[in-house]
Amino acid sequence: MQIAPLIDRSRELVRQRGLTAKQAVQTAIDEFAESSEQIVQEESLTSQIEVELLGYGVLQRYLDDQDIEEIWINKPGELHYFSKEGKQVVQLELSELTIQNLVRRLLRHSRRKLDRLTPYVDADLADGSRLHVVMPDVTRRNWAINIRKFSRTRISLSDLISKEALTTDQAGLLTSAVLGGKSILVSGATQAGKTTLLTALLNELGPGERIVSCEDTFEISLDHPDWVAMQTRPTSPEGDFEISLRELVKQALRMRPSRLVIGEVRGAEALDLLVALNSGIPGLGTIHARSAKGALEKLLTLPLLAGENITDRFLRLTIPTAIDLVVHCERSAAGTRKISEILKVRDEILA
């Protein structure tokens, strides 16, 4: 049966009588059962309606599935996801209006907005998952949604060894480096496991460390007693001014961090990071690159975006004293991830 009328009636009961969502659902089903000649499967109906009212509708089962890493929607009626079995596509009852309503619900937690003035948005869900949405006219026709699932389990280097993402020798080297106060840059392509490795490295730190992290949207998940997590904020039609990643780095330096973390180095904030690391604060971050040396070459250009009097010579002298290791991650066509390279940064590499 179509449950849309029951969903509408439940919402009406919430507005008119002030019932809780669960009370409204039960009342709507009771009314339907009394007026219907067919047998009503109350338990099933209750579950379906509550998912629509309190959860994320047709997306909820995929969000709850721990084997699924990422979900995306390109057009009505179709959902893609990536799991342990690889990429999958399913056909769903998913209209354009349903997609738009889902996006509004998905954005409630972050309170970020999507409209014609700002037709794309990055946000986080209540469970920490990362949401990205783009709407027309930036897309050709349909709203495009990506949700990168958040891992609820604590990630350690030992976990990555068991998944064959790195060797015991590599784990030993990285543990010694992070505990010894070395600054580490994690490089790789999209979904190569950069943030996962970064999180595992940070989880090796003891309670005496003070960690301050800066991200575009919250992705890092730590089990640490002294951790401050910050994320950027875009401008809004209501007058909220932008808080950039570069500004977050400046604020972080005033918070007495013993470890400074940048979720992804991709702009002018690279200059502030290099200056901070050169001042004696160990740090970690990720960067998109095709190789460890490629990451360093990219680090030679990103600070130039700061628009200040930065020279190539200055950067070539600064980077080797700021970054100790570059760890490169790769993802195979089958979806497996591994560390392919650990590069010790020396002056001659940038010569």
Where are the domains positioned within the chain? 4-54, 58-148, 157-350
pLDDT at 261: 96
Residue 136 to residue 132: CA distance in whole angstroms: 14
Residue 312 to residue 215: CA distance in whole angstroms: 27
Residue 280 to residue 176: CA distance in whole angstroms: 18
DSSP annotation of 233: B
Q: Which residue has the tokens 């961090």?
A: 257
Are the C-beta atoms of 88 and 96 separated by less than 8 Å?
no
**Ranges of the chain with pLDDT below 70:** 1-2, 51-54, 152, 237-238, 347-351
DSSP annotation of 85: T
pLDDT at 351: 60
pLDDT at 82: 92
Instruction: Write down the number of H helices and E strands in the chain.
Output: 12, 13
The closest of 177, 149, 173 to 161, measured between CA atoms, is: 173
Question: Can you give the pTM of this predicted structure?
Answer: 0.77
Check whether domain 58-148 has CATH 3.30.450.90, yes or no: yes
Whether residue 240 has a cis bond before it, omega within 30° of 0 = no
pLDDT digits (tens, 9 = 90+) for 169-212: 999 999 999 999 999 999 999 889 999 999 999 999 999 999 99
pLDDT at 347: 64
The closest of 158, 154, 185 to 172, measured between CA atoms, is: 158
The correct CATH number of 157-350 out of 3.20.20.140, 3.30.420.40, 3.40.50.300, 3.40.710.10 is 3.40.50.300
pLDDT at 350: 67
